[in-house]
Amino acid sequence: MSRAIKELEAGVRQAPDSPEMHFALARAYTRAGRAQDARQARANFLRLDKIRRIGRDGAQSVGGAADDKP
């Protein structure tokens, strides 16, 4: 698991705006019992996913008003 986490952390450094990378890292941290790290990675995933959905589908896709900021 340690090697997988290191690989995923490297992936996040190379693609910091990728929600998928943060999601995968959050899952790996959870499986490794690293709850605080998992929460942070999950928060990053949610933030980036929201930004992507707003850009693709508009603010209504995340339940926010058009002037909401991600």
Contacts for 18-24: CB closer than 8 Å, 24+ residues apart: 18/48, 19/45, 19/48, 19/49, 19/52, 22/48, 23/49
Structural domain includes residue 70 = no
Q: What is the CATH number of the domain that holds 51?
A: 1.25.40
Q: pTM of the full predicted structure?
A: 0.79
Residue-wise pLDDT tens digits, 13-43: 999 999 999 999 999 999 999 999 999 999 9
What is the pLDDT averaged over residues 40-61? 89
- What range defines the domain where residue 12 resides? 2-61
Is 39 a member of any domain?
yes
In this structure, is residue 66 part of a structural domain?
no
Judge whether 32 lies within some domain: yes
What pLDDT sits at residue 46?
Answer: 96
When divided into structural domains, the chain yields a total of: 1
Q: Does 60 have pLDDT greater than 60?
A: yes
- Name the average pLDDT for the chain: 89
